[in-house]
């Protein structure tokens, strides 16, 4: 073969090899490959951390206080246990209703993979702002998901929303029965933010539970945490017992109520165990870490495509029990009753 022909063949082969190769600057000829590697939301594969998939979750929390913080911690732990790689964008509304919608709006603009809404106002805003999108919402620390118009019914979640409520069906009733049994013929002082739908529902439940008992009720409403101490002070002389439901505004300023209760020997009944560590005396409560964890399990199923929100019924807390802070009982001048020896005890921080 002539030398010029051999040279020509080698040159042609080299050119062909270069033409068939790809570099970092060369687009992939198959668009479906890029799409699959960038977005596995519809996949049922649970081994997402190994595949390199990272999910972006927007966390909208109404305020930072122990109960909501524990719910968020449980949520994160469930996703960690599921083996998912998550990037969180945590935003607190600082107990300001004016902040909840802008937070949700930003999450929608960022096209997050899921919104975790921690408390009723945050969930309502997320549902409103995510309307018309395919962004799923998982909530917890919501007292009445139906009354808040988040879902039609517990077994009828929305197309893009589900979660775990924080009010056991019997908790208000049992708490009122506890007060009636051990603080008979007392006037119960209630402080709450009338702008929080979750609180209004609880106050209505207290009013209903008090009917037929020896108890009466006196109420004070607040709109900000700055008003809580004054509200508690004005109840002195009118209320024999304080009962603080899981109102986010009041719980955020619970130290103010504890101070008044201790100074005036007023038993302070609270709505959840985390408030006992702040100085509350007793509660029939739930574990917020647990409801947060269950919400995280729901989120994991949604992110991996195993289920959609409408496939997951809204759930109540798994259980409830009596919790007592003995130190708070002493601080509030409460005579100990041997019936309480079987309660779960919580120490003050």
Burial (0-12, 13-18, 19+ Cβ within 10 Å), 139: buried
Q: What is the pTM of this model?
A: 0.73
Distance of alpha carbon 36 from the chain centroid: 31
Helix (H, G, I), strand (E, B) or coil at 187: strand
Please give the DSSP secondary-structure letter assigned to residue 95: T
Residue-level pLDDT, tens digit, the chain, 349 residues: 444 443 433 443 343 333 333 333 333 333 333 332 233 333 333 444 545 799 999 999 999 988 999 999 999 999 999 999 999 999 999 999 999 999 999 999 999 999 999 999 999 999 999 999 999 999 999 999 999 999 999 999 999 999 999 989 899 999 999 999 999 999 999 999 999 999 999 999 999 999 999 999 999 999 999 999 999 999 999 999 999 999 999 999 999 999 999 999 999 999 988 899 999 999 998 889 999 999 999 999 999 999 999 999 999 998 888 999 999 999 999 999 999 999 999 998 8
Domains, the chain: 53-166+288-311 (3.40.50.2300), 171-285+321-345 (3.40.50.2300)
Smallest CA-to-CA distance from 190 within 155, 219, 159 is with: 219
């Amino acid at each position: 073969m002539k030398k010029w022909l051999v040279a020509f063949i080698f040159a042609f082969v080299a050119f062909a090899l270069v033409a068939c190769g790809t570099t970092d600057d060369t687009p992939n000829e198959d668009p479906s490959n890029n799409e699959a590697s960038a977005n596995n939301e519809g996949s049922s594969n649970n081994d997402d951390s190994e595949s390199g998939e990272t999910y972006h979750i927007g966390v909208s929390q109404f305020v930072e206080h122990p109960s909501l913080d524990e719910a968020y911690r449980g949520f994160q732990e469930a996703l960690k246990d599921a083996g998912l790689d998550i990037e969180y964008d945590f935003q607190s509304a600082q107990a300001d209703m004016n902040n909840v919608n802008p937070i949700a709006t930003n999450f929608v603009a960022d096209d997050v993979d899921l919104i975790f809404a921690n408390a009723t106002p945050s969930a309502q805003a997320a549902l409103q702002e995510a309307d018309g999108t395919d962004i799923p919402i998982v909530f917890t620390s919501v007292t009445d998901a139906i009354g808040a118009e988040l879902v039609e019914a517990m077994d009828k979640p929305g197309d893009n929303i589900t979660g775990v409520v924080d009010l056991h069906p019997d908790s208000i009733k049992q708490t009122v029965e506890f007060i009636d049994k051990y603080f008979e013929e007392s006037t119960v002082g209630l402080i709450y933010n009338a702008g929080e739908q979750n609180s209004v529902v609880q106050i209505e439940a207290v009013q209903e539970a008090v009917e037929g008992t020896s108890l009466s009720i006196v109420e004070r409403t607040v709109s900000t945490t700055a008003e809580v101490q004054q509200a508690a002070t004005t109840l002195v002389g009118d209320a024999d017992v304080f009962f603080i439901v899981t109102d986010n505004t009041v719980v955020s300023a619970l130290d103010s109520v504890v101070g008044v209760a201790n100074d005036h020997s007023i038993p302070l009944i609270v709505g959840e165990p985390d408030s006992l560590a702040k100085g509350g005396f007793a509660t029939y409560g739930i574990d917020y870490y647990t409801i947060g964890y269950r919400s995280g399990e729901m989120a994991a199923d949604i992110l991996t495509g195993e289920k959609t929100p409408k496939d997951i019924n809204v759930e109540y807390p798994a259980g409830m029990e009596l919790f007592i802070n003995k130190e708070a009982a002493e601080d509030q001048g409460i005579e100990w009753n041997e019936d309480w020896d079987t309660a779960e005890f919580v120490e003050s921080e």
